[in-house]
């Protein structure tokens, strides 16, 4: 949650934030709503009050996870051999091009 707080304070203009149950916190939801962002986060199982969320949009979350999983098949991207961010970004772009072209 500490990482989520840092990222959300620097992002503005998001329509929705799709996250898993690990990010279910009232303060995160209030922060998102104050920025006019719709949280698509299911509630944890031990919540007393059931949290409503857009289940259809939440089911599409696997596409992002599948993309990261596919990129991690490339050893150079997974272990981050590059010291410079621009070199690493170019390696990620090459891996994405190869992964989805073939």
Coil, strand, or helix at residue 18? strand
Query: pTM of the full predicted structure?
Result: 0.69
Is 92 in the same domain as 48?
no
Write out the residue range of the structural domain in which residue 87 sits: 62-101
Is 70 in the same domain as 51?
no
User: For the chain, how many structural domains are there in total?
Assistant: 2
pLDDT in tens, 2-23: 788 788 878 878 899 888 888 8
Is 71 in the same domain as 88?
yes
Is 15 in the same domain as 48?
yes
Is 8 in the same domain as 50?
yes
pLDDT in tens, 33-90: 999 999 999 998 888 888 889 889 998 888 888 888 999 899 988 888 888 999 999 9
Is 54 in the same domain as 67?
no
Give 45-52's long-range contacts (Cβ < 8 A, gap of 24+): 45/21, 51/24
Is 45 in the same domain as 74?
no
């Amino acid at each position: 949650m500490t990482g989520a707080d840092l990222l959300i304070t620097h992002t503005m203009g998001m329509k929705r934030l799709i996250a898993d149950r690990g990010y279910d916190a009232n303060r995160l939801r209030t922060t998102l709503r104050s920025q006019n962002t719709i949280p698509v986060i299911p509630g944890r199982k031990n919540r007393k009050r059931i949290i409503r969320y857009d289940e259809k949009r939440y089911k599409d979350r696997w596409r992002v996870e599948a993309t990261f999983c596919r990129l991690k098949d490339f050893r150079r991207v997974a272990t981050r051999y590059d010291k410079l961010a621009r070199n690493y970004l170019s390696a990620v772009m090459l891996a994405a091009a190869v992964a989805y072209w073939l």
